[in-house]
Amino acid sequence: MRLKNKTCLITGACGGIGLAMVEAFLTEGATVIATDLDAELLRERCAPLAGSERVLSCRLDVTNPDGIAALEAELAAEGVFVNVLVNNAAAITIGKLLDATVEDLRLVFGVNVEGLFNVTKGFLPGIIARGGGTVLNMASLASVRAMHERFAYSASKAAIAMMTRSIAVDYVGQGIRANCICPARVHTPFIENYLTKYYPGEEEQRLEALSRYQPIGRMIQPAEVASMAIYLCSDESAMVTGGSFVIDGGVMAGDQPLQAA
């Protein structure tokens, strides 16, 4: 088991990628602290998973430093100490720069950037004190390739990629590895809900278009992101730090032939 003896805290664990990581990490022997805003829903989703006796489901608002400190203290009181931190919680808004509002920026940067900062700052000292560990951040293909009408989101994910490299450089001497995953379109409930909200009646066509966007011809599955996460959080990647790992079905490899209309 590749994550045996790892205690992994995952934020945003209710969602497609987050829940897939919880399931995959359990399969590999990890103890998992799964966190999200809706702890009751999180418990319901984690309960059927194999190895669920090794899951602790907790409510966590990544924008609240006091809540993060309280969770760390609660875990420590129970003898639970994190050595793998997965920053997966995310927010997104739709729009170009001229469409965006200050509130949009505050929402997206508050969760994606400040949230990562808060959780990492809260748990990193303890990880260092116990000999080191791993920080894994969920960025996006949008961190290296701007997405149409995702101004705030793309900017926030680019910030995550640089924050990851900074953590890697600053704490490598204290036993910390930091990497980020940059997926393209992942087929999650979020995507389906988003299409229903913004493109009612066009969901099927839009899903097909998203699949065609990736040259491999389909959307990424959450379990495929989780597989990369397992590698980056395991000792197999002991010499890997400061990296941005793209999962994109060939988007960044080069242009595809134009399709006839």
> Which of the residues 153, 194, 198, 231 is marked catalytic?
153
Ramachandran region, residue 37 (left: φ > 0; alpha: ψ -120 to 50; beta: rest)? alpha
Angle (nearest 5°) at CA 43 between 40 and 47: 150
CA gap 246, 261 in Å, rounded: 30
Helices (H), strands (E): how many in the chain?
9, 7
Q: Which two tokens stand for residue 172?
A: 């490598």
> Is residue 10 helix, strand or coil?
strand
What tokens does 58 get? 């907790």
Q: In the annotation, is 194 catalytic? A: no
Q: How far is CA 89 from CA 58, 223, 244, in A?
A: 14, 17, 17
Burial 148-162 (b: 16+ CB within 10 A, else e): eebbbbbbbbbbbbe
Phi first, then psi, for residue 111 (nearest 5°) are -85, -50
Catalytic center residues: 153
